[in-house]
Structure 1
Amino acid sequence: MNPAATSPGSGGFIIMATFLVGLMLSQIPLPYVIEWGRPEWVALILIYWVMALPHRIGMGSAFFLGLLLDVIKGSVLGLNALSLTIIAFVTLVLHRRLRMYPRIQQSMMIMVLIGINQLLFHWMQAFTGYTGDSLMFLLPCLASGIIWPWLFVVLRGIRRFFRIR
C-alpha cells in the first residue's frame, strides 16, 4: 500500500516534487525555433495547486517559487517572484469560478493568466533594460493553454492517488 495514501491530508512533499518537476521542465534546453513557445510550467503547476488547494498554496508559495525561478534562470531577482505572486492572487480570487468551468474554458482562462504573467514579466524587464521588440514573448500563453487540459488531468490524478487535501 502507498505510504502517503494511509495519511490523508499530507502530501507537502508531493506538491514540492511537482514544483521541482516544473522547475526542471522550465530549464530543459530546447532548439531556438521552439524556445519561444515553451509553456510556463511553473506558473501552470502553481495555478493548478492554488485552484485545488487554496488553503495550502497561495501567494507566499508563489513568491518563494518566483525567487527560486529567478535564481535558476539568472534573471533580475524579484521579477518572476512578483509576476507569480500576482498570478497566484488572481487565481485565489477566481479559484471557485475556475473550478466550475469546463476544461476548454479553463484553458482560455489559463491563456489569459499566463498572458498576464508574460506581460508583467516583459514590462518589468523593460525597466531593467533586458527586453526585445517582438511579441514572441506571448507564445507561451498559447502553448500553456493547449497543455492545460492534460496537465490538469495528470496533477488531479496525482492529488487523488496520494489523497492530498
Structure 2
Amino acid sequence: MIDLTRGHNRWLVLVALLLALTLAVYPLPLDWRWWRPEFVMLVVVYWVFTLPDHVSLTQVALLGLIQDLVEGTPLGQHALGLVIVTYIALQSYRRFGNYALWQQACWVFVLVGIAQMTSNWVHSLAGGHVSGLQFLYPALVSAVLWPLVHIGFGGLRHRYRIQ
C-alpha cells in the first residue's frame, strides 16, 4: 500500500505523465492545433528540474517513444526532442532553480523550442512542410503556462512530500 505521508510518492509523477499524454491527443479544432502546449515536455521539464537524480535519458526516450505511438508521429520524433531537452535540463538544473519565474518561463520557451525544431526537422524529413515559425507556437504557449505548471506541481509535491 502507498503511504501518502512518506517521501516516496512518485506515483504522482506517473499520473502527471499519463494526464499529459492524454492532453497531448485530446481533440482540438484544426485552427487551434498549432497552439497546443507541449504537455509531456512541460511535465518532464518540471520533474527534471525538481528531481534530477531520479530521471534518466533512457526513461525519457521510452516516454518519447510512447508519445510517438500515442500521437501517431514517426517513431523517434518525440523521443529525440525529449532526450535532447532532458540532457540540457540536467546540465542546467542548478542554475534554473535560482531564476525568477518569468526567467524560468523564458528558459522553458527555449527548451520546448529546441524540441519543436527537432520535431519540425523530422517532420520535414518525412515530407511534411511547415511555413515560417509556426512550429514555435507550442513553445510560446508552453512558456506562458509554465508558471501554472510550476506552482501547481510545486503544491502537489509539497502536499505529498515527494523528494
Correspondence for 2:130 among 129, 132, 135: 132
Match of 2:26 in 1: 28
Structure 2: stretches of 5+ with no match in the other structure: none
Structure 1: stretches of 5+ with no match in the other structure: none
Name the SS for the 1:129 alignment partner.
coil
Name the SS for the 1:5 alignment partner.
coil
Match of 2:9 in 1: 11
Q: Residues 79-94 of structure 1 correspond to what in structure 2 (within 5 A)?
A: 79-94=77-92
Name the SS for the 1:90 alignment partner.
helix
Aligned residues: 162
Q: Amino acid of the residue matched to residue 145 of structure 1? A: A
1:123 paired to 2:121: yes
CA contact (8 A) 1:50 1:58 kept: no
Distance 1:5 1:13 in 2: 10
Q: Amino acid of the residue matched to residue 116 of structure 1? A: I
Match of 1:50 in 2: 48
CA contact (8 A) 1:4 1:162 kept: no
Q: Amino acid of the residue matched to residue 49 of structure 1? A: W
Shift of residue 137, structure 1, vs aligned partner:
1.1
Q: Amino acid of the residue matched to residue 22 of structure 2? A: M
Distance 1:137 1:4 in 2: 43
Distance 2:20 2:65 in 1: 14
**RMSD of the alignment, in Å?**
1.2
